[in-house]
A and B are shown apart, each in its own frame.
Chain A
Amino acid sequence: MIQLSANHLLYLAEAARWTVLLSLIAFVGGAIVGLPIALMRVSKMALLRGLASGYIQLIQGTPLLIVLFLAYFGLGILGYKLVPLVAAGISLTIYAAAFLGEIWRGCIEAVPKTQWEASDCLGLNPVQQYAYVILPQAVRIAIPPTVGFMVQIVKNTSLASVIGFVELARAGQIVNNSTFEPFAIFTAVGVIYFVLCYPLSVAARTLERRAHVGR
């Protein structure tokens, strides 16, 4: 029986760095696109609301796997051949933006209407209302669910393995192809995912408790 060698574990650890990088790309990209989506969702203009809500429904109703296939193979056939990291980064950004947009819309709407009225009565214009009164309070509400969603992002980066991107899950498959020790290998892969996700889960729970206690 072949044991997992230190080299195999090192290979997995190196692949885990790509998982972390892809997670960061997805989160940062998702945040950059997701915030405008959230603001559009609560806009006074029906057109903006409709566009954002259409985007969210479309993406939330599509498997991430299909988005990945479209970005990698679909665009490839159309002549835009993306490297797997870029295709995966774009797909995860599209996916994360839809979910973050919807989470953050809820957080913005959770700030009481009276905060809008009070700041309006003091003469703040809408941009100032958002910047100084509404968003600072929405951020406080948003931190626990946002951190919680980051756990989903980390786990969903494993789907990038299907377009040949060598992150943690794909690395596990590769090692398994040479060692035929699926139980040991995929246990090790699972443990690494857990080590990445568990701190985030704990942070989300702690932050949520703190948010409930008050300021």
Chain B
Amino acid sequence: MSADDAIIRIENVVKEFGALRVLDGVGFDVARGQTVAIVGRSGSGKSTLLRCIAGLETVQDGRITVCGHEVGRPGSAARAQLRRDVGMVFQSYNLFPHLTVERNITLALTLVKKESKEAARRRAAEVLGLVGLTDKLRSYPEQLSGGQQQRVAIARSLALQPQVMLFDEVTSALDPELVAEVLDVMRQLREDGMTMVIVTHEMAFARAFANRILFMADGKILEQGPPAELFGDPKTARLQAFLKRFREGHQL
């Protein structure tokens, strides 16, 4: 991959919470249109890494660049730029419970992008169509299932037309039968050429879905490569143990 292709560039990032080093010199690139899945046990630092890319955490050392702009520089202009470039979807959906589905989506369009109400409404209907929830415009989040809420959350991010979408364990809070509908939406996004970084416990999905998989442990990337290589021929004992435990868990 040439340097110009990298839409996300992460170089030697160190993140500490007090004495605890959560990210210990992490570096990788993501090319435009690529899907990268980050896997690893809880506490390996994968969600923190995603939150650093989203600008929700500051880093102590290293550099994160998204679309040519450095993340975490002070100043509201830099922040606004990052918000235009990056969409983030959370495990707990984080819809605004006091607003309708439509207003959840149009809020940032009217406040941040200064679109007219009509244009914002059209855009809301459009992105809800993408996730198959056009009929839920007037609903409140609590009237929707978890899977539907998560699809609205994805639509809300997409409405702002980000260059990159970050997914933080977006199916972890869902009942098993609701996971598929969310993964289907993400599959569609990949086909539309969206650049995505996903933190996930859905190993089968990561394997079928991602161009590249990063395996994290103790705040480091221990292994990375195409799914077939990582799952077929794990090099490190940690990854072997991780995959073994995962397979055993799924035979139960």
Q: Specify whether A and B are partners.
A: yes
Q: Which residues of A contact B (CB under 8 A)?
A: 112, 114-115, 117-125, 128, 132-133, 136-137, 140, 214-215
Q: Which A residues are CB-close (under 8 A) to B94?
A: 112, 114-115, 117-118
Query: CB of B187 within 8 A of chain A?
Result: no
Interface of A is mostly: helix
CB distance from B167 to the nearest CB of A (A): 12
- Inter-chain contact A123/B160, CB cutoff 8 Å: yes
Contact among A112, A120, A125, A132 with B56 in the assembled complex (CB-CB below 8 Å): A120
Q: Which B residues are CB-close (under 8 A) to A215?
A: 97-98, 140, 142
Instruction: Give how many A-B residue pairs fall within 8 Å (CB-CB).
Output: 59
- Inter-chain contact B111/A124, CB cutoff 8 Å: yes
Contact among B88, B95, B98 with A136 in the assembled complex (CB-CB below 8 Å): B98
Query: Given contacts A115-B94, A215-B97, is CB(A121)–CB(B87) below 8 Å?
Result: yes
Q: Which A residues are CB-close (under 8 A) to B201?
A: none
A128 to B95, CA, bound (A): 16
A118 to B111, CA, bound (A): 15
- Inter-chain contact B88/A121, CB cutoff 8 Å: yes
CB distance from B150 to the nearest CB of A (A): 12
Q: Which A residues are CB-close (under 8 A) to B86?
A: 121
- Inter-chain contact B160/A115, CB cutoff 8 Å: no
Query: CB of B211 within 8 A of chain A?
Result: no
A-B contact pairs, 27 of them (CB 8 A): A112-B94, A114-B92, A117-B56, A118-B94, A118-B95, A118-B96, A118-B153, A120-B83, A121-B54, A121-B87, A121-B157, A122-B107, A122-B108, A122-B112, A122-B157, A122-B160, A123-B108, A123-B160, A124-B107, A124-B112, A128-B112, A132-B107, A132-B111, A133-B96, A140-B98, A215-B98, A215-B142
Q: 8 closest pairs, A vs B, by CB?
A: A123-B83, A118-B94, A122-B108, A123-B112, A121-B88, A114-B94, A136-B98, A128-B111
- B12-44 CB mask vs A (1 if < 8 Å, else 0) is 000000000000000000000000000000000
CB distance from B47 to the nearest CB of A (A): 12
CB distance from B169 to the nearest CB of A (A): 13
Q: Which B residues are CB-close (under 8 A) to A136?
A: 98
- Inter-chain contact B96/A119, CB cutoff 8 Å: yes
A136 to B107, CA, bound (A): 14
A192 to B128, CA, bound (A): 56
Q: Which B residues are CB-close (under 8 A) to A119?
A: 96
- Inter-chain contact A123/B80, CB cutoff 8 Å: yes
- Inter-chain contact A114/B96, CB cutoff 8 Å: no
Q: Which A residues are CB-close (under 8 A) to B84?
A: 123
Residue among A122, A133, A137, A140 with most chain B CB within 10 A: A122
Q: Which B residues are CB-close (under 8 A) to A117?
A: 56, 90, 94
